[in-house]
Structure 1
Amino acid sequence: MSLEYQKHIPLKAIPFVQFLIDEHSFDLFIVNQRATKHGDFRKLPSGRFQITVNNNLNKYQFLLTLVHEIAHHVTHQKFGRVQPHGQEWKTVFQHLMLPFIHPEIYPKEILPYLANYLKNPKASTDADVNLSLALKGFSADTGKDFIFAITFGTLFEFKNAIYKRGNKRRTRYECLNMHTKKVYLFNQNVEVKIYNS
């Protein structure tokens, strides 16, 4: 197994991650960014297990995503076919994350949000706005803004299309696609680029 992952996670996390890799047999690949997911776990036709994690994540996001995917693997080994993010996975994920909930691994700016998220982890860390923002605070400046931070009526670019920010509905924003005139719902912590015509 390549040790390339070590440069993607906090230094103090390496022994714990290496233990998980040694304990549970799988191939780990670090891949180019995918728009719809940070990582994934799958059983290959050969019977081997594979975990992939996006290479654009900062080390705190990368570590959380990696342990999230290892939890899928361990859940599969222990319980067979169950709900992907059901109670079995939640319990395994919480257990596997315990050694990492430490100020030597996660900064104190992230720890309270991470601890709160782990009380009832969701399928995606992006579903937890506070944790998502705390994690992204340690990324390089991308020149983008969060949907919730731009004003009503502002034009922005997202995936090569121009949208206009509309009203908020509970946790998401209505945004009008300026080309198709269709309204789409955007998560409040999606990162977009302000449109300058």
Structure 2
Amino acid sequence: MHRTLLKYIPEKAVPLVEYLINEHKVRLKIVNQRQTKHGDFRTFPNGQTQITVNNNLNPHQFLLTLVHEIAHHVTHKKFGRVQPHGKHWKTVFQHLMLPFLQPEIYPKEILPHLANYLKNPKASTDTDVNLSLALRGGQAENGKSFIFEIPFESVFQFKNTLYKRGNKRRTRYECLNLTNKKVYLFNQNAEVKLITSNI
């Protein structure tokens, strides 16, 4: 497990993660990228549990996702069936993440955003724009742009569907689906492929 973890998370975090995995008897499976989630936790009818994390995440994303899912596992063991991202999970997640909040593990570009997010963690780190951008080093995937970077009324592709970027609401962008003509709200850090720019 040590050598596997070294490939996916910051080196200084490995002993802490190994401790969590052994202490809580975590079954970890590293899987190919999924479009809709970075990781998940599930229980099986035989009582066994399993955590999966996407293999395409950078070390800082991978570590945060893994601890997020371990928090689900610990919450389930301690409290049984409770709200997935309710107060029990938030408390456990905050407690488990605390030892990782050090500059040897999370660089100074990420630490303040991570500490702020952990005051009231949400189901997805992607909802926290500042943290999400910091975790990605301010860079979208190759060949893609963040939606806030593309011009108004540009056409872009997201999950094989074409949209036209509209106005920004408080934190999200109105985008017209060019197939069904419905308007959808996109997080400003959604990664999309620019097709045509209106500039």
Q: Is the 8 A contact 1:166 1:175 kept in 2?
A: yes
Change (3 A) 1:45 1:6: farther
The answer (yes or no) to whether the contact 2:140–2:146 under 8 Å persists in 1 is: no
Residue by residue, what CA displacement relative to the aligned partner does 1:89-128 show, whole Å, maximum 9, x if unpaired?
1111011001100000011100000000001100100010
Alpha-carbon separation, structure 2, partners of 1:100 and 1:23: 17
In 2, the alpha carbon distance for the partners of 1:138 and 1:181 equals: 31
Q: Percent identity?
A: 74
Q: Which 4+ runs in 1 deviate beyond 3 A?
A: 138-141
CA distance in 1, matches of 2:140, 2:186: 23
RMSD between superposed Cα atoms in Å: 1.7
The Cα of 1:5 is off from its aligned counterpart by 3.1
**Structure-2-length-normalised TM-score:** 0.94
Deviations, residues 54-104 of structure 1 (Å, cap 9, x unaligned): 111100000000000000011111111111111111111011001100000
Deviation at 1:139, TM superposition (A): 6.3
The residue type paired with residue 22 of structure 1 is N
Q: How many residues align?
A: 197
Given the two structures, how large is their TM-score scaled by the length of structure 1? Answer: 0.95
Return the offset for 1:196: 4.4
Gaps of 5+ in 2: none
Distance 1:103 1:60 in 2: 12
What is the CA–CA distance in structure 1 between the aligned matches of 2:140 and 2:56, rounded to whole Å?
10
Query: Which has the higher mean CA deviation after the structures are superposed, 158-167 or 179-188?
Result: 179-188
Equivalent residue number for residue 75 of structure 1: 75
Tell me if structure 2 keeps the 8 A contact 1:68–1:93: yes
Counterpart mapping for 1:19-168 below 5 A: 19-137=19-137, 141-168=141-168
| Corresponding residue of 2:194 | 194
